[in-house]
Amino acid sequence: MDDSSSFKAIITRLKSKVEKLEELCMDVPSEMESKKADREHWYSWHNLWKKAWLHKSTDLTEEEKAKLKEETSVTTRYKALDI
């Protein structure tokens, strides 16, 4: 009888692990989409930041460049993210 109860315990544990794995597999696609959106948002901000702070572009006026610097400043970004 001990082998039977031990076997049932193993089956129960395995079943709970499979159920947990199924739950995780259901969560992964939505988390991937969320993380992708976060990466795309950061990438967009980062490109604007580089344009404002690093590039010596002549296609922006000084006023436009100053505005872009204000919009992309790290301090402004942290305030917007409540960090």
Q: How confident is the model at residue 8 (pLDDT cuts 50, 70, 90)?
A: very high
- Structural domain boundaries enclosing 32: 2-81
Comparing 26-30, 55-59, 65-69, the range with the smallest average pLDDT is: 55-59
Total domain count for the chain? Answer: 1
Residue 26 is predicted with a pLDDT of: 94
Tokens 């917007």 — which residue?
80
pLDDT beyond 80 at 22: yes
Q: Identify the burial level of 52 via C-beta atoms within 10 angstroms of its C-beta, where 0-12 means exposed, 13-18 middle and 19 or more buried.
A: buried
Residue 71 is predicted with a pLDDT of: 85
